[in-house]
Amino acid sequence: MSVLTHIVYALAYLVAGGAVAVVLPEMRPDADPLLGWLAGGAVVLAGALVHDVVTRLERERIASRRIHRLHDTVEALAEEVARLRAAVAEESARPHAGPAGYDAVMQEVKLLQSLVTRLAERRAPRPPASAAPAVERRASVAAGEAPTAVPAQAPAAPMPAAPMPAGPMPAGPMDDASVLEAVREALEADRIDIYLQPIVSLPQRKHRFYEVFSRVRSGDGQQIMPDRYLEIAEREGLIATIDNLLLVRCIQLIRETERRQHSIGFFSNISAATLSDTDFMRRFLELMTRNQALVPKLVFELSQADLRAGGAVTLGILSQLSRLGFRFSMDQVSNLDFDVETLLRHEFRYVKLDRALVLDPARAARVAELRRRFADEGIDLIVEKIETEGQLVEILDTGFDFGQGYLFGEPRPSRKPG
């Protein structure tokens, strides 16, 4: 009971006792006045005893409630300890457990350290160079295929998701030098945000994969859009660093989903610059060799133009990755003349087609032929940029099994694994 309650109880029986002491002599004038005081004292004493009993009962009730809560807490802790013991036993049984797991974490740290070192080495001014190819492709991909209107449906994240901001903060006018400095600072301060967009099976709309995008956030919280920074980053040799950081984050995401027992895969764009970064790729392959179980969860994505421009060199690097178990996806398809044998030989198991291309009446026969051929060879076709229910109905009529677009979920920020 509160102090105020105790005061109210005490005042009640003190007033009652005083009233008895005053009223009793008036009711019986012939009685001894001392009798009134004795009766009043008896009332006060009885009230004090009742007050004490009530207080003890309340204390016992509170103590009992606390004991029950403590008992529930002990049981919950015992269950948590049992769960942790089971998790430790399961982790110990995995190939990457123990020293191998420690080595994997250290390799991730070394990869990140190498990225920061590369940034420091590239601080010296560099002469302008012509913009590298495929910048427009990377801008549209990193932007998450933004449509004219955004449906309300959002994807369910495979791990705890960070709150979605109301919208990217509009960046003020920035010249190329300011954008370059903002990108460098974002890399050094780990302000490259990771966004996820679902790829769903059709017609169930079940999330099967997530495509991973990177977004640059400046020191004042403004988001620099990909079409503003990608060309500059490509020209200054920073695209490989951004891609490398994205790959490390992908591995952390995959490990997190493994811990949470989610069966989900991730698509990550990879550039020719990253593939040709021998130091990073060597460390990355060493890391994945120690984490072989994570390899099937990561699909590298290359554009059709990058794959053709890379030629034998790019295909040779892809062969090394495929021998480790990696699979690949082709996106930004503009030419429907595929060398299917080459795709199969280098483990391309997914091809993304733009929704407008799929629904183009002039290409309907060729698209249908490709769908049948790829289905026979085990290559899945994914239709991109599906934004409305009407478009989905048209896609389902063509018999495609996978879709991606704002209808199924916009790119959402992923909380960094802790």
DSSP single-letter state for residue 124:
S
Query: Which position has the higher pLDDT, 321 or 93?
Result: 321
Q: What is the pLDDT of residues 343-359, one digit of tens each?
A: 999 999 999 999 999 99
Q: What is the mean pLDDT of residues 115-137?
A: 45
pLDDT averaged over every residue in the chain: 76
Do residues 158 and 210 make contact, with C-beta atoms less than 8 angstroms apart? yes
Do residues 268 and 301 make contact, with C-beta atoms less than 8 angstroms apart? yes
Q: How confident is the model at residue 242, as a pLDDT? A: 84
| Top mean-pLDDT range of 9-13, 61-65, 87-91, 324-328 | 324-328
Q: Give the residue extent of every domain in the chain.
A: 3-78, 96-413
Beta-carbon contacts of 21 under 8 Å, excluding residues fewer than 6 positions away, are 36, 37, 39, 40, 41
Q: How confident is the model at residue 123, as a pLDDT? A: 47
Of the listed ranges 1-10, 74-83, 123-132, the one predicted with least confidence: 123-132
Q: What is the mean pLDDT of residues 184-204?
A: 89
Residues in the chain: 418
User: What gap in Å lies between CA 42 and CA 17, rounded to an integer?
Assistant: 7
Full-model pTM: 0.63
Is 60 exceeded by the pLDDT of residue 137? no
Q: How confident is the model at residue 89, as a pLDDT? A: 56
Give the Å distances, CA to CA, from 159 to 77, 255, 256, 409: 24, 11, 7, 15
Do residues 344 and 386 make contact, with C-beta atoms less than 8 angstroms apart? no
Is 50 exceeded by the pLDDT of residue 160? no
Residue type, 309: A
Q: How confident is the model at residue 377, as a pLDDT? A: 93
Q: What is the pLDDT of residues 324-381, one digit of tens each?
A: 999 999 999 999 999 999 999 999 999 999 999 999 999 999 999 999 999 999 999 9
Q: How confident is the model at residue 134, as a pLDDT? A: 45
Q: What is the pLDDT of residues 10-50, one digit of tens each?
A: 788 788 877 877 777 777 777 677 777 777 788 888 888 88
Q: What is the mean pLDDT of residues 263-288?
A: 84
- Strands 192-201, 402-404: pairing kind: antiparallel
Is 70 exceeded by the pLDDT of residue 178? yes
Give the Å distances, CA to CA, from 134 to 224, 245, 247, 302, 338: 19, 20, 19, 10, 19
Is it true that domain 96-413 has CATH number 3.40.190.80? no
